[in-house]
């Protein structure tokens, strides 16, 4: 009887180990760059992932919401008006366990 219980327990452990196979983290970003007008722009960034992700930008003239999540999401990107005559550039970083994408942002100066 003990043999059967031990064999049954071993079989259950083997099945549980197979069922808990981890997926390879993936991250897909459709947008390759943003060319914003000097007047500013509200747009979105589509994220497809099977893992947790984080979006960030070092410049305060670009606002991102939400900046963290998991799975599929539409992230709001608000690019403020450029009131100077100089063009400006930045980048939005999208990262998860497996990947990091850099999305360039360009905006001309005001006329």
Domain 24-107 bears CATH identifier 2.60.40.10: yes
Q: What is the pTM of this model?
A: 0.77
Predicted confidence at residue 60, as pLDDT, reads 97
> pLDDT tens-digit profile of 47-96?
999 999 999 999 999 999 999 999 999 999 999 999 999 999 999 999 99
Rg over CA atoms, the chain: 23
Extract the runs of DSSP E, i.e. beta strands, from 39-108: 41-49, 52-56, 62-65, 68-70, 73-79, 88-96, 100-107
């Amino acid at each position: 009887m003990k043999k059967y219980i031990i064999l049954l327990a071993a079989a259950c452990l083997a099945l549980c180990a197979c069922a808990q196979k981890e997926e390879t983290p993936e991250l897909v970003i459709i947008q390759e760059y943003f060319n914003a007008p000097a007047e500013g722009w509200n747009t979105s960034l589509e994220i497809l992932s099977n893992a947790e992700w984080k979006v960030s930008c070092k410049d305060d003239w670009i606002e991102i919401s939400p900046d963290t999540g998991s799975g599929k999401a539409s992230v709001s990107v608000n690019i403020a008006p450029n009131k100077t005559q100089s063009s400006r550039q930045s980048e939005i970083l999208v990262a998860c366990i497996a990947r990091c994408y850099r999305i360039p942002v360009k905006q001309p100066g005001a006329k």
